[in-house]
Amino acid sequence: MKSFTEFIIEGRGGKPKYSDEYANINFYNHLIGSLDKKGSIGKEMRKAIKDKDNETISKLIDQELDNAKKDPKHPLHFDNVDDDGFSGKKKTDAHKDSYYSELERAAPGFFNLVRSDKGRKISSQGYVGRVAGGDHEASKKSWKGNPKGQGRFDYVFSDPSDSKKELRVSGKDYKGSQAGSAQADQASATLQRGVEVAATKKMKSSLGSPPKKEKGESEQEYKQRRTDIKLAARDKKRETIAKGAERTGEIRTMMKSTKGQSSQQQKDTYGKVQSKIGELEREIPGTSRAAGQEMVKGTGQFSRGKTAQAMWTTGGKSGSFRDPRQQSVSLRARAGKGGGREMAVTGDIAASDKEKKAQQARQSSYKDFMKQSQERINKLPSRHQAQALRNAQARQRMQGQLNQE
């Protein structure tokens, strides 16, 4: 007989899933009517968005969600969508629950998008959305990290009348997610980008407004003094960047040394790397925030037109559609994933305070539930225990989804 732990693992793995990214885009395109400008739903929705008529927007969202489930002829009905976005790259009947679950999760994300300034502009004009996650882009020649990297945006919204007009959007889940994960070369380049941005900000701040001309100072002397101040500030910036390069080089070397080690062997090193990142921040304030922003936007690594311009947090009511510069990212050193892979630095995006409390409640509830279930299952004949556990897990997952609505 399989152990209780094995049943837990079995219950978590291999479940047919539908991509949240495709759910968000398909729901958006349908409601906006971006693929059918003459459709009545799209016309009504675009007008409501333009007029900031939230009541009509909410009514149409609920109406189309309901119709997608009940009307076999509806464009978003399960039978009418193609294979894109389904695990295994092929739609099966087993995907149906996940499909409708993700479609429901797309609703609050859509509402947050159309209420934001940028989102209102693109949606009221019928911009067409597409999934772009996974596309790899070439790095700038000056970039010292990976020569290629996964683009920072997951969606692209384009003006149907002018393909050059587009909005590139990074997608994240409201429960918390990652801005990126980087091994030695990429991590040190990202941190160095943070140093450069922080040093530039400090230089601009130190220069401030031009100094006033002193009494008895000639025009030539005044100009020279202003030039000297600027040159001194630039020299200070270069010194800061050089100092930062030494520190990020040390971090790179430490991270490289973990290649071939087990996760347990790497533990001591990634703790030291975390301390080094903290020291770098104290020495050059603003580095960590700027490095986190690089993970989100990619302005240092990629050329113009390849970076994220907005961040769309979806999946729940506490999501948002906003400027990436408003997003804070925490840098965390961790062990490499997979045997022998070198350690990495991850950019964590925390869940909202509301979701954190909900997660804690769900974790506590799950522990109590599994304890009670195991006590009940242990009393059953051994031949019935596996199925009973699967049924209990299914009920708990369903209840968890309902609690997140």
Q: Quick one: what percent of the chain has pLDDT higher than 70?
A: 85
Quick: pLDDT tens for 209-230. Answer: 888 989 999 999 999 999 999 9
Residue 404 has what DSSP assignment? T
Tokens of 220: 């030539």
Q: Are 257 and 276 in contact (CB under 8 A)?
A: no
Per-residue pLDDT at 272 exceeds 50: yes
Pick from 123-127, 303-307, 376-380: least confident: 376-380
**Beta strands, E only, 229-318:** 310-314
Per-residue pLDDT at 12 exceeds 80: no
What average pLDDT score do residues 58-67 get? 95
Q: Quick one: what percent of the chain has pLDDT higher than 90?
A: 62
Tokens of 151: 């683009």
**pLDDT band per the 50, 70, 90 thresholds, residue 3:** very low
Structure confidence at residue 209 (pLDDT): 87
Dihedral (Cα; 133, 139, 140, 143), 10-degree rounding:
120
Alpha-carbon distance of 405 to 66, in angstroms, equals 15
Quick: pLDDT tens for 353-378. Answer: 554 555 455 444 445 655 676 777 77
- Give the highest mean pLDDT range of 5-19, 192-206, 324-338, 378-392: 192-206
**pLDDT band per the 50, 70, 90 thresholds, residue 352:** low
Tokens of 238: 């270069």
**Which residue from 310, 317, 315, 347 is spatially nearest to 331, judged by alpha carbons?**
347
Pick from 87-101, 224-238, 387-401: least confident: 387-401
Structure confidence at residue 35 (pLDDT): 80
Burial (CB count within 10 angstroms: exposed 0-12, middle 13-18, buried 19+), residue 11: middle
Per-residue pLDDT at 235 exceeds 80: yes
Burial (CB count within 10 angstroms: exposed 0-12, middle 13-18, buried 19+), residue 20: buried
Residue identified by tokens 């045997």 is 339
Burial (CB count within 10 angstroms: exposed 0-12, middle 13-18, buried 19+), residue 243: middle
Alpha-carbon distance of 179 to 332, in angstroms, equals 11
What average pLDDT score do residues 36-41 get? 84
Please enumerate, as own/partner, the contacts of 245-251 that have beta carbons within 8 Å and a separation of 24 or more: 245/192, 245/195, 247/191, 247/195, 247/276, 247/279, 247/280, 247/283, 248/188, 248/189, 248/191, 248/192, 248/195, 248/280, 249/188, 250/276, 251/187, 251/188, 251/191, 251/276, 251/277, 251/280
Pick from 16-20, 262-266, 344-348: least confident: 262-266
236 vs 320 pLDDT, higher one: 236
Neighbours of 235 (CB within 10 A): 11
Structure confidence at residue 368 (pLDDT): 60
φ/ψ (deg, to 5) at 77: -65, 145
Q: Mean of the per-residue pLDDT values for the chain?
A: 86
What's the whole-model pTM score?
Answer: 0.74
What average pLDDT score do residues 388-405 get? 54
What average pLDDT score do residues 52-59 get? 94
Structure confidence at residue 367 (pLDDT): 53
182 vs 381 pLDDT, higher one: 182
Residue identified by tokens 């958006």 is 28
Tell me the residue type at 73: K
Per-residue pLDDT at 8 exceeds 50: no
Structure confidence at residue 11 (pLDDT): 41
Structure confidence at residue 398 (pLDDT): 46
Per-residue pLDDT at 250 exceeds 80: yes
What average pLDDT score do residues 90-103 get? 95
Structure confidence at residue 360 (pLDDT): 53
Work out the end-to-end distance of the chain between its first and last CA atoms, rounded to an integer number of angstroms.
37
What average pLDDT score do residues 119-144 get? 90
Alpha-carbon distance of 62 to 191, in angstroms, equals 45
**pLDDT band per the 50, 70, 90 thresholds, residue 306:** confident
Tell me the residue type at 134: G
338 vs 220 pLDDT, higher one: 220
Structure confidence at residue 393 (pLDDT): 61
Per-residue pLDDT at 175 exceeds 90: no
Alpha-carbon distance of 187 to 242, in angstroms, equals 17
